[in-house]
Amino acid sequence: MRTHPMSRAILLALLAGGAPLAHAGDGSDTMRVGDMQYGNGLDPRGGSPLMTPDAEGMSWLHPGMLRTPSGALYPYPYTLAGKPVGQGGDWTYWGLLQLGYIHPGGDRNAEFFRQYTDWKNGAALGLFAMGFDNRRTGQYVEFRGSRISGDDQYYRLRAGRYGHYRLEAFYRDMPHTVSTNAFPIWDGIGGSNLTLPAGLTPGGSTIAAVQQASAAAPRRTLGLTRTRTGVSLEGELYRDWVGFASITNERRDGTRLWGGPMFFDYPFFTDTGSPYGGDGGIMETVRPIDFSTTDVDLGLRRVGKLWHFNALYTGSFFRDRKSYLDYQNPFLITNVIGVPNAGPVVDGEYSLEPDNDYHNLRLELSRELKWRGELSLAAAYGTMRQNDALLPPVNCTGTLGFAAGPLQQLIPCDLWNTPAALSRTHSGARIDTRLFDAKVTYHPRRNFCWHADLRYYDEDNKTRYLAYNPLTGQYGYISENGAQGSVVPGETGIFDNGYYAGSIVQIASIPFGYQDTVLELGAEWNVGRSDSLSLVYTFDHDRPRHRERTRLDEQRIKLSWVSRSLGDATLRASFEYGDRGGGRYDYDPYAAYYSTSMPGFVGAGGLPPPAFTVDAMRKYDMSDRKETKARVILIYPLGDSSTVSATFYGNRDHYDALVGRQDTRSTGFTGEWDWQPGPRTNASVYLGAETTRLKLANVADDESVVGAAGRDDPRFGGPLYPLENYWHDLDRERDYNAGVTFAHDFGRVRLDLAWNYAQSLSRLNYDLASPGALTFPQAAPLLDGRFPDNHYRSSTFDAGLSFPVTASIGVRLFGRYQSGSFLDWHYLGFDDTLVYDHRVYTDRGPQVHYRATLVGAMLSIKL
Amino acid sequence: MNRLLLPLLFALASAWPAASAHAQAKAQAEVAPAAVPAAAASAAFLDLRAQAPIRGDAQAGAGKATVCAACHGPQGVAVAPNFPNLAGQSATYLYVQLRQFHDGQRRDPVMSGQAAPLSDTDMRDLAAHFASLAPKPSGRADAGSRGARLFLAGDPARGIPPCQACHGVDALGPRVQPTGGAPHPPWATIPRLRGQSAIYLVKRLGDFRQGIRPGSSNTRIMEGVASTLDDADVQALAAYLSAL
């Protein structure tokens, strides 16, 4: 075997230290594992150095073959030509090592520059690839690897024998930068316990102290690394029986921005003039990411002459190694009645994602029928289960709350900070799904076919949890653990037959689920030799559980036309119309899960509880809807070597809702010109544009009625929801994408150029029936009916030059220039400070303007 | 910068097709009239994928075939089994073979010398002449033989494709099928095998297995096919085809 000594050293190092290879696996091309694409920032396609266009084309038998049947261009097939191919017995082999140096410059930490690539200054492995093929037996082994950094790399091994079996294994690390501009005030970032630094007093810091701590906090990059490993095997078991098995594991490790308590927000802000600030307790924290998901797929299929059989088991097992996030609150939290608390609100806690087990077994059987027909039957059963130990409602010590005359709102923490305060120790959550699908297809004539499909799906949520504390005999939970909600009268989250008899809190989980039945009828005609028409009718009968409607019916009709009768062009056009309606709309189907349904509930002040929401509210997935979709795709060959393609599309949704989502629209165009005059040259120009809009309406409640008579009136136009408090907003977005690519092999030198531009502009307008729609009506004169525009723009230019030095050594020089700008009004003001009264934020947001460069040189060595 | 770059690239892309089309037209005018060589092929390689069926004057060819008859027989049926029968063979196939001898892409102690002085018209006429002759009468092949099975069905377990896919179910060459407007494969360049001598077939398949046939796109196909055959397969196929 003729290999370069360096290749042996690298291979040995990988096998010895690495362990990655030993555990790796992948179902590329089959979708059984999920990793379809291997690439990185250096080479998004993966294996580009191996992709030498083959002048000899696709087939030794067929000329041309460079277009799809509809006229789009195939790229020239890639060849191993140019690489020395060794021979040893029946085996041929090849190898390529590409090593080099990369140097990022300019605003190299800009979030959008390094969002999915861990650019670092230093050596990089562009590609290490080896392949072995046995043309006599059809056996093959192929290895590929690339490394930018320890957090951005991939290695893949494939082996098998054509027509018999295939083994795939992989290891890869993929970075995802969340923010490069984060300034968290806490210590312990990345862990489960966020503590305040020296200088801040938990539950008792001044605003100035928190501002100072924020200003002094070091800039951090938040992000995570996805590490995927897996192995899959597929092969013929016996005659027509093929089996496969795969297992993959994905670990996610890192940090991300995490909200935090949101109570109180600005509407109830009171400027007390105190150095400790006023109301509220809003914190943007940082949470750890420490997940793993293991997927197992087992399959067995048989493709016989008459019967086809397919069985598939899918298992997915999610594990979160960190089940909670504890944080310290820096602010002095007050109740709103002006008396001192029994103790400071010091600690808060979040429960993080629970472990989850998912199993699904699907069986499919199909049989050929007369008249070129086919009957297909499918049945599946799935179950999702969670049974983590539940965390207690709070993690405080001492006593929360206050005592003032008749207001005796004292909460002994030891009755709420232990699992004994829960109705059960483990979640016992479970959702089961069932699917049955029967489809029959017939081709009674060569130019006509029809099909009928009946599909039934049921999602049964068996989770039942009652928020009941057996230590106190109370229902509900302590709301806003670590924030102001836990100490404000009426907001504590507890219900009982005594002091908290007027609390409106959720006391049980709502077992959402649905049962869906879909009937589809379709027919297709070939009209002449160049046109075909198809018509599909669908009736969808949905029965949601514990939702605003118990029945939703939607009828859809889709008409499609495919034509090749317009010269050389291929035209695809479709039009679809859907009309959804249903049973009576109940604006409050959740009463049974709230304390208002409990015996002993007494409305505060002797009043009935306020309406759950306005009766005119229609949630977008439950409302009547008329939907129209149209799409036209045109592919037109220009001469022998180029193709123009264009797509026009538009979607319109109209919702029958006075309150809620009313209207969505999207209209778009994509166009592309591809040119491939020969294997040495290719170029493309592409352009895309899309506009979308979303219109919704709502009505603000009249705060003066919330605590008065009439508060239980849900009518739109009633005292609680007066017409003058009605408002609309219109969210419009325009997105553009354009680019040019060009590559040419001059013989001694290959040049490749690419430019890509992306822009997004969003605008939010609103209008009000009157200033009464505002929380602060007095602010109305300051408003102009729109929020500041948000925009995102990015321009990336790539250039590369490749040339050989000797027969087996080549050089590739490349560079990238990326510039962009970003503006989002949510981040406005954060350049001054991240602390506003009782609100501390962590992320200053992406860089407003940036320019980053990347240069690199790679040495390619054919092994 | 980007504002400048875009029009520049457009201009470059627009100018390129014209320059390229001119270069291609010039190159095509210089190549052999019937065959289009692959762009990067060596001189020894002949790309037959775009080879159109040829035309020739069979009557004129008859007058130029006197020397050929010494080996291939006056009626195109070889005088000895080591020579191929030419009667009824595809004219285009015969023309391509003569052209390869003429151009030195295929070498044979006798045929290279015979083909060297021929003009393109001579080669077309000779090919048309032999194609017009009545093929050798059919024999009695064993339809149940291993050779028949390999020819008609191949052996999927060993990766052997059925020969009939290209050479026709009766070994009289392929039947042209509609392609819906797509370019046809070069069916006319594929030889008829029916009644060819076993000795000649064994030698030819051996050449493919050893990779010593001259390079053409058809050779590349046959090299792949022949590599799946063992000696017994070759003998079985030759016996079957010679008896057809």
Segment A162-195, tens digit of pLDDT? 888 999 999 999 999 999 999 999 999 999 999 9
Distance from CA of A111 to the nearest CA of B (A): 21
Question: b vs e for A479-496, b when ≥16 Cβ sit within 10 Å of the residue's Cβ?
Answer: bbbbbbbbbbbebbbbbb
A740–B41 CB contact, under 8 Å = no
> Residue A336's pLDDT is what?
84
Longest dimension (CA), chain B: 78
Burial classification of residue A791, based on how many CB atoms lie within 10 Å of its CB (0-12 exposed, 13-18 middle, 19 or more buried): middle
CB contact A239 to B (< 8 Å): no
What is the pLDDT confidence band of residue A211, given thresholds at 50, 70 and 90? very high
Residue predicted with more confidence, A167 or A36: A167
CB contact A641 to B (< 8 Å): yes
Whether the per-residue pLDDT at A280 is higher than 80: the answer is no
In the predicted model, what is the mean pLDDT of residues A720-731?
Answer: 97
Q: What SS3 state is found at A705?
A: helix
Partner residue opposite A797 with nearest CB, options B2, B17, B20: B2
Q: Which residues of A touch B40 (CB under 8 A)?
A: 55-56, 679
Q: Select the residue from A52, A56, A60 to test the B interface by mutation, using most B Cβ atoms within 10 A.
A: A60
> Residue A47's pLDDT is what?
84
- A 381-410 residues with CB below 8 A of B? none
Residue predicted with more confidence, A74 or A146: A146
Segment B168-177, tens digit of pLDDT? 999 998 887 7
Q: Which residues of A touch B180 (CB under 8 A)?
A: 69
Percent of chain A with pLDDT over 90: 76
User: The tokens of B125 are what?
Assistant: 């006429």
B13–A685 CB contact, under 8 Å = yes
Q: How many C-beta neighbours within 10 Å does residue A271 have?
A: 9
Residue predicted with more confidence, A347 or A36: A347
A755–B9 CB contact, under 8 Å = yes
Distance from CA of A242 to the nearest CA of B (A): 15
In the predicted model, what is the mean pLDDT of residues B3-26?
Answer: 38
Residue carrying structure tokens 């930490």: A109
> Residue B108's pLDDT is what?
87
What is the pLDDT confidence band of residue A484, given thresholds at 50, 70 and 90? confident
A61–B9 CB contact, under 8 Å = no
Q: Select the residue from B1, B5, B9 to test the A interface by mutation, using most A Cβ atoms within 10 A.
A: B9
Whether the per-residue pLDDT at A216 is higher than 50: the answer is yes
> Residue A65's pLDDT is what?
62
E strand map for A113-151: 122-134, 139-149
Partner residue opposite B38 with nearest CB, options A55, A62, A65: A55
Residue of A nearest to B230 (CA): A136
Q: Which residues of A touch B186 (CB under 8 A)?
A: 61, 63
A136–B227 CB contact, under 8 Å = yes
Q: Select the residue from A54, A56, A744 to test the B interface by mutation, using most B Cβ atoms within 10 A.
A: A56
**∠ at Cα B86 (B83, B92), nearest 5°?**
125
At residue A778, what are phi and psi to the nearest 5 degrees?
A: -65, -15
Chain B contact residues (CB < 8 Å to A): 1-2, 5-6, 9-10, 12-13, 16-17, 20-21, 24, 38-41, 47, 49-50, 159, 166, 180, 182-186, 217-218, 220-221, 227
Return d(Cα A811, Cα A94) in angstroms, integer: 19
Residue of B nearest to A679 (CA): B39
Helices (H), B52-184: 58-63, 69-72, 91-103, 111-115, 120-132, 146-153, 164-167
Q: Which residues of A touch B13 (CB under 8 A)?
A: 675, 683, 685, 740, 742
Q: Which residues of B touch A69 (CB under 8 A)?
A: 180, 182
In the predicted model, what is the mean pLDDT of residues B179-187?
Answer: 72
Residue carrying structure tokens 């809620």: A660
Extract long-range pairs of A801-809: CB within 8 Å, 24+ residues apart: A801/A749, A801/A750, A801/A751, A802/A749, A802/A750, A802/A752, A802/A860, A803/A748, A803/A749, A803/A750, A804/A748, A807/A84, A807/A862, A808/A84, A808/A861, A808/A862, A809/A859, A809/A860, A809/A861, A809/A862
Distance from CA of B5 to the nearest CA of A (A): 9
B182–A64 CB contact, under 8 Å = yes
A685–B50 CB contact, under 8 Å = no
Return d(Cα A514, Cα A223) in angstroms, integer: 37
Amino acid type, A455: R
Distance from CA of B29 to the nearest CA of A (A): 17
In the predicted model, what is the mean pLDDT of residues A474-492?
Answer: 86
Return mean pLDDT, chain A.
Answer: 91
In this structure, of A437-446, A475-484, A616-625, the range with the lowest mean pLDDT score is A475-484
Whether the per-residue pLDDT at A440 is higher than 70: the answer is yes
> Residue A383's pLDDT is what?
98
> Residue A86's pLDDT is what?
74
Distance from CA of A190 to the nearest CA of B (A): 40
> Residue A264's pLDDT is what?
75
> Residue A33's pLDDT is what?
45
In this structure, of A12-26, A301-315, A388-402, A778-792, the range with the lowest mean pLDDT score is A12-26
End-to-end CA separation in angstroms for chain A: 10
Q: Write down the pTM of the prediction.
A: 0.84
In the predicted model, what is the mean pLDDT of residues A343-357?
Answer: 93
In the predicted model, what is the mean pLDDT of residues B139-162?
Answer: 91
Question: b vs e for A543-557, b when ≥16 Cβ sit within 10 Å of the residue's Cβ?
Answer: bbbebbbeebebebe
CB contact A681 to B (< 8 Å): yes
End-to-end CA separation in angstroms for chain B: 73
> Residue B192's pLDDT is what?
95
Whether the per-residue pLDDT at A263 is higher than 70: the answer is yes
Percent of chain A with pLDDT over 70: 94
Q: Select the residue from B163, B176, B217, B219 to test the A interface by mutation, using most A Cβ atoms within 10 A.
A: B217
> Residue A302's pLDDT is what?
93
B49–A57 CB contact, under 8 Å = yes
Asked if residue A377 lies in contact with residue A362, where contact means CB atoms within 8 angstroms, the answer is no
Residue predicted with more confidence, A504 or B214: A504
A642–B2 CB contact, under 8 Å = no
Return d(Cα B62, Cα B131) in angstroms, integer: 11
In this structure, of B65-79, B159-173, B180-194, the range with the lowest mean pLDDT score is B180-194
- A 124-163 residues with CB below 8 A of B? 135-136, 138, 162-163
Partner residue opposite A61 with nearest CB, options B10, B21, B185: B185
Q: What SS3 state is found at B111?
A: helix
> Residue A265's pLDDT is what?
67
B20–A685 CB contact, under 8 Å = no
Q: Which residues of A touch B227 (CB under 8 A)?
A: 135-136
CB contact A569 to B (< 8 Å): no
Q: 3-state DSSP: chain A helix, strand, coil percent, rounded to 5? A: 10, 55, 35
Whether the per-residue pLDDT at B13 is higher than 80: the answer is no
Q: How many C-beta neighbours within 10 Å does residue B9 have?
A: 19
What is the pLDDT confidence band of residue A45, given thresholds at 50, 70 and 90? confident
Residue of A nearest to B45 (CA): A56
In this structure, of A290-304, A331-345, A623-637, B54-68, the range with the lowest mean pLDDT score is A331-345
Helices (H), B116-243: 120-132, 146-153, 164-167, 198-210, 217-226, 231-243
> Residue A7's pLDDT is what?
36
A797–B1 CB contact, under 8 Å = yes
Distance from CA of B222 to the nearest CA of A (A): 10
